[in-house]
Amino acid sequence: MVGMSGAYGGHNGSESRQSKEAVVVGAPEMIGVGLGMGVVHKVASPPAQSTASKMKGKVKETFFPDDPFRSFKGQPQRAKLLLAVKYLFPVLEWAPGYTLSLFKSDLVAGLTIASLAIPQGISYAKLANLPPIIGLYSSFVPPLVYAVLGSSRDLAVGPVSIASLIMGSMLRQAVSPSAEPALFLQLAFTATLFAGLVQASLGILRLGFIIDFLSKATLVGFMAGAAVIVSLQQLKALLGIVHFTTQMGIVPVMASVFQHTDEWSWQTILMGACFLVLLLTARHVSIRWPKFFWISACAPLACVIVSTLLVFLFKAQNHGISIIGQLKCGLNRPSWDKLLFDPAYLGLTMKTGLVTGIISLTEGVAVGRTFASLKDYQVDGNKEMMAIGLMNVVGSCTSCYVTTGAFSRSAVNHNAGCKTAMSNVIMALTVMVTLLFLMPLFVYTPNVVLGAIIIAAVIGLIDLPAAYNIWKMDKMDFLVCVCAFAGVIFISVQQGLAIAVGISIFRVLMQITRPRMMIQGNIKGTDIYRNLHQYKEAQRVPGFLILTVEAPINFANTNYLNERTKRWIEDESSSGNKQTELHFVILDLSAVPAIDTSGIAFLIDLKKATEKRGLELVLVNPTGEVMEKIQRANDAHDHFRPDCLYLTTGEAIASLSGFAKMATP
C-alpha cells in the first residue's frame, strides 16, 4: 500500500499487503495479527448479470413492486385468461360466490350511505358552483362503474368537498358560473375528463408513486386549510348574504362578510345555527358511541326533510330564506357533446383536471387502504387508480363531475357492515329512484341547511391530534404542515398545496445532498461499532477513524461527503497525540444501497488524499451494486485491492490493529 512503509516505521508494506491479500481473497481462515486470533471473511462479489437482466429487474422493482402477475406463473393458458379478466374486473372475484346473507348486509349499508350521499351530493355540487342535480348525477353513475372495476369493499364513491372546492374556484377564475352557467358546466365536464385520464394513466403506467409526494404532513395541513376555506364559503348561505366575494382567501371572505352586514338575515341565521348544532351533536354522538354511527349518517337527510317541511309550511322563502328551487326529474343525460376543447380554455381545464385528479385520487386510495387494513385484505393501489380514473372518464360523458371515495361516507359504509362493493350499487339505485320520482320534494329545501351539512362534513378534516403528533415527531414536517395550512387559507387552495409540496421536495433534496455521516466507536467488550453521539458507551479506537454513510452516494452529495471526510481527517491528524495517531480511515458502506460514477470518483479521490497523508483507506461491507462498480473501477486501475476491503468493521480492526501498533513509536 502506498505510504505504508512510512506509517509502519520500517515494516515492509508489500509483504504485509501480500500476506493480507492471501487471507482476504481466499476462504475464511484463522490469522494472527498481534492481537490474537480472528477470522477475516472475503467480501463477495454479486453474481454476474447482463445489462438487460439488470434493467428488467430495476423496471420490475420500480413499476411492479407488488408483482401483480405472480399468480399467472405455471398456469395453463385458459386459467391465465380467466385471471386476467378477474384482474381487470374485480367484480368477478366476489360476484360468483355472492349470497343472500351478504346482500342483506350490503342492503343496509347501501341504504345508509344513500341517506348521506343525497344531501351531500346536492351540497357539494353547489360548492363547485354547479347545478344541484349534477351532484346527484355524480352519485349515480360513478358508483356503478366503481362496483365493477374497484377492488375496495368499503369505499363509498361520490362527490367530495375538497375536489368540489378546487374545481369551482379554479374554473371561476376564467368563467362566471352565474353569468355563463352553460359554459361553466362544459368546462367542469371537460376538467373531469382530464382528471379521469390522469388518474387512469397513473394506474396503467404504474406511476402511483407520484402521489407519494403528498406526504402526511402536507395532507394534514392542506385538508385542514381547505376545511376552513370551505366552511368560510358557507357563511354566504348561513348569513343569507346575496353579494358575496368570489375570492377564496380568509381575508377577502371575512371582509365581504362584514361589508354586507345589511344583507344578513336573522331568519336564515337562526335556522342555520339550529341545524348546524343538530348536525354537530349527531356527529359527536357517533364519535363518542360508535354503535350509534347511523345517527350522524341519517342526520343530513333528516335535516333536509325537516327544513324543507318548515319552509313549505311557513312560506319561509318569502321571509329571506333562499331555497334550491325546481329540479328536473330524470336520469343522467349524455354529456359527451358538451366536452369543450376550445384552445382558449384547454389549458385551464387540463390544469384543473390535473389538480383535482391528483387530490381526489390521493384521498380515494388512502381511504381504500385504511379500511382494507382494518378488515385485513389487500387493495391494489394501481388498480384503484385505473378504477377511479375510468369512473371519472365515464362520468364526464354522463353529466357527472369529479368523484372519488370520501372518508366520511366510506366510514359510514364500513360501520354499517358492508361486505362487498354491492353497497355502492344499492346506493346508486336509491339515488336513481330519487332522480326519477322524488326531485319535486327538494324544491323548498333551504340553501342554509346545505351549507350547514357541508360545514358538519368538512369539520372532521381538521385533525388536530395528527398535527400535534407531527409537531412532536418532526418539527420540519410540522413546518410543511403549517405552510400548507397557511398557504391554503391566505393565498389559494392550489397555491397552498404547491407551496407545501415544494417544501417537501426541498426537504427530500436536502436529505439527498446532505446525507447523514457519522463517526463510530466500539462498544467495550463487544465486536459492535455504533455512532459515538448516539451510544455514550461507544469508545474511539486508537489509530482508526471509523466513518459511516447512511445514503446512496451520487453526484448530488459527493462534494459534501468529500469535504466532511477531509475535515474529520484533519481534526484527527492535528490532535498531536502520538498514542492516538491516525493510521487508518475506515468507511463503512453497509448503509449505502447505490453509487454512481461520481460516487466511485469520490472514493478514488479520497483514497489518493489519504495516501498523501500516509494513511490507508479501508472500505467495509460494500453492498452488491457498490461492490460491482468498485470491481469495474479496478478493471481499469487497481484502486481498491482486496486487502482494503473487509466484511465487517470488527474484522478490519482486528486485522489492521497490529500494523497500527507497529507504526506507533
**pLDDT exceeds cutoff 60 at 290:** yes
Mean pLDDT in residue range 460-485? 91
Q: For 284-300, give the DSSP string.
A: HHHHHSGGGHHHHHHHH
Mean pLDDT in residue range 316-339? 88
Q: Tens of pLDDT along 102-159?
A: 999 999 999 999 988 999 999 999 889 999 999 999 999 999 999 999 989 999 999 9
Q: Which helix (H) or strand (E) holds 545?
A: strand 544-549
Higher-scoring residue by pLDDT: 19, 125: 125
d(CA 504, CA 491): 18
pLDDT score for 53 = 80
Q: Which residues contact 511 (CB under 8 A, 6 or more apart)?
A: 551
Q: Tens of pLDDT along 404-459?
A: 998 888 988 888 889 999 999 999 999 999 999 988 888 999 989 999 998 988 88
**What are 288-296's contacts with CB under 8 Å, separation 24+?**
290/415, 293/411, 293/412, 293/415, 293/416, 294/112, 294/416, 296/412
pLDDT score for 5 = 35
Backbone angles phi, psi at 521, to 5 degrees: -135, 170
**pLDDT exceeds cutoff 50 at 9:** no
Helix ranges (DSSP H) in 401-537 = 407-415, 422-433, 447-458, 464-473, 475-490, 493-513
Residue 246 pLDDT level (bands cut at 50, 70, 90): confident
Q: Tens of pLDDT along 575-595?
A: 656 556 888 999 999 999 999
pLDDT score for 263 = 84
Which grid coordinates are listed for 384?
A: 384503484
